Amino acid sequence: MNDTRAAIRYAKAILDIAVENKATTAVENDMRSVVKTISDSRELKDMLASPIIKAESKKKALKGIFKGVHPVTEGLIGLLGSNKRIGMLNEVALKYIILNEKLKGQDVAFVTTAVALTAELEKKILAQVTKITGNKVTIENKIDAGIIGGFVLRVGDLQFDASIANKLSNLKREFTNSL
């Protein structure tokens, strides 16, 4: 929980700096790139989570991977590295995207599914989430075969888990507790 609070604080600070520099869109594009790159690379996730690899090495690697990003984004990577919080980069990037979308009067709905969403299903989800939040919503679809089926929907701090994996886990817990 502390990592989430810290990620929100870093994201708010970066958003303030980006607003000051009139670079919110450029930094948001960088953050989306960070999230996509980290989620697409198992090696990068492992490297960021590794307690064996020094923070300075992680910082150098990330600066090499994200070469050419906006100076605000580069500063975030440097700051997280200096504070030994580089493993939080993905979470900070996600929080930044959410905060920036809220600043623009929009929300981001992160939908995790076992297979890619069809255009028709995406429209239905958009309509429902827009009705619930009252804001304009964009959808980020993440594919994770580990949820088996169903979906996990996250908008801001709200999460709705209708995945088969979650239901199986709940059943297992019920059976274990009733023995």
The pLDDT-based confidence of 1 (bands split at 50, 70, 90) is: very low
Residue 56, pLDDT above cutoff 90:
no
- Report yes or no: 19 and 78 within 8 Å, Cβ to Cβ: no
- The CATH architecture one would assign to domain 2-100 is Orthogonal Bundle (1.10)
Strand partners, 160: 153
Q: What residue ranges do the domains of the chain occupy?
A: 2-100, 106-178
pLDDT tens for each residue of 94-112: 999 989 888 887 888 889 9
pLDDT at 73: 92
The pLDDT-based confidence of 79 (bands split at 50, 70, 90) is: very high
Residue 169, pLDDT above cutoff 60:
yes
pLDDT at 170: 92
pLDDT at 2: 65
Angle between helices 2-20 and 89-103 (to 10 degrees): 50
pLDDT at 75: 92
Average pLDDT over residues 36-46: 89
Residue 46, pLDDT above cutoff 70:
yes
Degrees (nearest 5) of the Cα angle 141, 147, 106? Answer: 30
Residue 177, pLDDT above cutoff 60:
yes
pTM: 0.68
* Cα dihedral across residues 66, 67, 72, 78: positive or negative: positive
